[in-house]
Homo-oligomer: A and B are copies of this chain.
Amino acid sequence: MRMVKPLARLHEQLRKLPGIGSKSALRLSYHVLDMRREDVEQLAKSLLEVKDHVHLCRQCFNLCEGTLCEICEDENRDHGLICVVEQPQDAAAMERTKSYQGVYHVLHGVLSPLDGIGPDQLKIRELMRRLQDDSVREVILATNSDVEGEATAAYLAGLIRPTGIKVSRIAHGLPMGGDLEYADELTLYKALENRREL
* Complex interface residues of chain A between 22 and 46 (CB less than 8 A to chain B): 24, 26-33, 35, 37, 39-46
Interface stretch, picked from A62-70, A145-153, A154-162, is A62-70
CB <8 Å contact, A92 and B1: yes
Bound together, the chains give a CA A5 to CA B46 distance in angstroms of 10
CB <8 Å contact, A13 and B42: yes
Additional pairs, 7, CB under 8 Å, beyond known A18-B27, A37-B51: A4-B65, A10-B46, A14-B43, A30-B87, A33-B54, A37-B52, A44-B44
Task: From the candidates B19, B27, B39, name the one contacting A28 in the complex (CB within 8 A).
Answer: B19
Task: From the candidates B19, B30, B41, B49, name the one contacting A88 in the complex (CB within 8 A).
Answer: B30
Which B residues are CB-close (under 8 A) to A5?
65
Which 5 pairs, one residue from A and one from B, show the smallest C-beta to C-beta distance?
Answer: A44-B44, A10-B46, A6-B49, A1-B95, A40-B51
Q: Closest B residue to A64 by CB, please name it.
A: B4
| A contacts, CB < 8 Å to B | 1-7, 9-10, 13-14, 17-20, 24, 26-33, 35, 37, 39-54, 63-65, 69-71, 87-89, 91-92, 95
Which B residues are CB-close (under 8 A) to A13?
39, 42-43, 46
13 residue pairs A–B, Cβ–Cβ below 8 Å: A7-B63, A9-B46, A9-B49, A10-B43, A10-B47, A10-B49, A10-B50, A19-B24, A26-B89, A30-B87, A30-B89, A32-B47, A44-B48
Q: How often does this chain occur in the complex, in copies? A: 2
CB <8 Å contact, A54 and B7: yes
Contact A3-B40, Cβ < 8 Å, known A31-B17, A51-B33: no
Bound together, the chains give a CA A51 to CA B46 distance in angstroms of 16
Which B residues are CB-close (under 8 A) to A24?
19
Bound together, the chains give a CA A95 to CA B46 distance in angstroms of 35
Which B residues are CB-close (under 8 A) to A87?
30
A57 to chain B, nearest CB (A): 10
